[in-house]
Structure 1
């Protein structure tokens, strides 16, 4: 006994079957991109107790600085508006230093917001940074004006 599948049902099944691999690839693609960035940059030294989101965001900030990626850094901003100017200032101030050893001191508890002090070993400079969950429920950074002075701590 042979059953015929209605055309509408067959079209729906084909659409689902074609879309399933794309959905799976998008999560894997993001993960692979993160793993590639992780492998392409010096390790970030960490003190304190970061959450998964705050750690990943700080790593991305340092990686964007090292790569000189103004647009990528601006995309991490949680404050809305055009963050390209602030991101450009950060890249100019810390881009070269981000190629070397960087330590991130995670302060406080980091479930939705965390203050971080970045220590750049080469020029011996520090920069305060706040990472938090933004309006779109993803982690990002508050790109305040970078501190132009070398560390005195």
Structure 2
């Protein structure tokens, strides 16, 4: 076989392998990467676990995007939380588009309390992130209780 044919076959195989790997990739990971690049960075204090950090980032992103269904999908408990998700977006949606700091309290292997600090307007909100029944991280989405930062 000529060297030019060998290069052409190698290139075709590389392209086919790349396409196959892309088709088999985890769409959730790609969605996370897209969300990460499309939003402001989250400032972090404390020691989050990988799961608690990813979940809190998703909460802030869903708030910033006004995505009540996406926010409700992160809830770990049974029951309809649509009204609570809408209340969170009303309370924090605009503020989530500005700078947000997440203060991760305690140890976060299966559950972690987090305080979100929104810079505009300066408010805080506590939330609990934890592993749900399906072994994935989520939040306990209660009615928001915005407090002014002192």
Shifted more, 75-84 versus 55-64: the winner is: 75-84
2:63 to 62, 65, 74: 65
State the shift of 1:24 in Å: 2.2
Extract unaligned runs of 5+ from structure 2: 1-19
Distance 2:145 2:126 in 1: 8
TM-score by length of 1: 0.81
Q: Match of 1:96?
A: 94
State the secondary structure of the residue aligned to 1:110. coil
State the shift of 1:145 in Å: 1.1
Aligned: 1:76 with 2:65:
no
Q: 1:32–1:92: structure 2 CA closer, same or farther, 3 Å change rule?
A: same
The number of equivalent residue pairs is 131
Contact 2:124 2:146 in 1 (8 A): no
**CA-atom RMSD in angstroms:** 1.5
Distance 2:54 2:92 in 1: 19
Query: Structure 1, residues 131-151: CA drift from partner, whole Å, max 9, x if none?
Result: 000011100001111114423
Aligned: 1:143 with 2:120:
no
Q: 1:81–1:55: structure 2 CA closer, same or farther, 3 Å change rule?
A: same
Extract unaligned runs of 5+ from structure 1: 1-19
Distance 2:23 2:79 in 1: 30
1:114 to 109, 112, 132: 112
Distance 2:66 2:105 in 1: 26
Displaced runs of 4 or more, over 6 A: 20-23
Query: Structure 1, residues 119-140: CA drift from partner, whole Å, max 9, x if none?
Result: 0011000000100000111000
Query: Structure 1, residues 94-121: CA drift from partner, whole Å, max 9, x if none?
Result: 0000000000000000000000000001
State the secondary structure of the residue aligned to 2:64. helix
